[in-house]
Structure 1
């Protein structure tokens, strides 16, 4: 029996229950890769079942989790991330974390795909949103800063991988001078992206999964979307079966 020829496309799912999912779709449609990118807006399990990977957008993390439970998607997403790449941006980063602080009364349901503790709205309220140039490891033209847009952004406050977890790779940090005064846990010295302070981390990768506390989808720069597909998703397709059409 002849092996099946490789697919000419990759199917990227975007959780489309609340938040900036349409903006992610626009960015993905700008990509020009060797494999065509097919976008699926995920609103139920049969949508998820078609996907090679998933993006969880920014928005309101508690609302997204509630709507995902009502749609019967929470447990399927937890199973999905065990074998397929997931990228969480802002609210999506909260959902991807294993532990959260600052949750609303009643708690916060999480997917738990990345071994970090994250604080909701760690940078403050909407009026304390800000923008900053970011140096990002692994991006195409990495010497060209990526424009980070932080809107009620969460803050990474701890890395806690177990010995059996994949290592955590830090992709980008911000200057500690941009942290709220209450968030600075080490003195700011000449190296103001001090690696002892996890709260300066704004982009990281663990195994298959990618996390950004900011909003790449709100820029005109699609390099993060390109990175996710090229570096996190495409390598998995050569070792996994294609999803059903």
Structure 2
């Protein structure tokens, strides 16, 4: 069974752990280097991307996470997690650190402030059946994608779910809806990587 860590510095940690467990993975919170070293993959939850960037530095996890992703560790970022995984962020803070993993440019809070949060149904490549119900909370969108990036879903004309190899990112929060198919997709990506 694959062990998937959830970065537990801020955000929807418990919800992601539950969704991963429901998808058949062993899910554990990650706050320390030793915990990171023990997982096959990592989920970066929603939260506040600039705060999470600072906390990664404070907990001395920034470089280790960056190195693991560069070495091919599967990673999934929702909302703020997508921002952290991007190559570049627009409307970020000058001191904000990026983890890389996705050759994309994202815009923070692109859909507006908290009051502009919304829900919609999306067709997501790789997820069969009914559309995925997506919750957007101060969500980013993807403004540019590199050649190796597959756009899995769009909303309002912008990419909101992307994949590049073993790295997945969504602007929305699948952990809040009870629909476990995005997490199941990620678990299958992790199993594929671990078995190869």
TM-score (norm 1): 0.77
- Note the alpha carbon deviations across 1:50-107, whole angstroms, 9 max, x for none: 1000000000001111111111100000111022100010000000000011013x43
Distance 1:153 1:111 in 2: 18
Deviation at 1:30, TM superposition (A): 1.6
- RMSD value, Cα: 1.1
Which entry has the higher C-alpha Rg, 1 or 2? 1
Which one of 91, 96, 105 corresponds to residue 102 of structure 1?
Answer: 91
Q: 1:115 Cα shift?
A: 0.6
Counterpart for residue 145 of structure 1: 131
* 1:5-42: CA deviation from partner (whole Å, max 9, x where unpaired): xxxx110000000011111011112224xxxx211200
2:119 and 2:134 in contact (8 A); partners too: yes
- Say which structure is richer in helix: 2
Contact (CA 8 Å) 2:87, 2:101: kept in 1 or not? Answer: yes
| 2:195 is the alignment partner of 1:238 | yes
Hey, what does 1:118 align to over in structure 2?
A: 106
Q: Hey, what's the Cα distance between the residues in 2 that align with 1:228 and 1:11?
A: 12
* Structure number having the greater strand percentage: 2
**Structure 2 spans left out of the alignment, 5+ residues:** none
1:197 equivalent in structure 2: none
Deviations 1:213-240 (A, max 9, x none): 110001110010000011x21111123x
Q: Which structure 1 segments of 5+ residues have no match? A: 1-8, 162-166, 177-199, 240-245
- Are the equivalent residues in 1 in contact too, given 2:15–2:176 (CA < 8 A)? yes
| Structure 2 length-normalised TM | 0.96
Count of aligned positions: 195
The alpha-carbon deviation at position 143 of structure 1 amounts to: 3.2
Equivalent residue of 1:157, what SS? Answer: strand
Among 174, 183, 186, which residue is 1:225 paired with? 183
Report what 2:22 is aligned to.
30
Distance across 1 between alignment mates of 2:194 and 2:78: 23
Whole-angstrom CA distance in 2 between matches of 1:29 and 1:69? 28
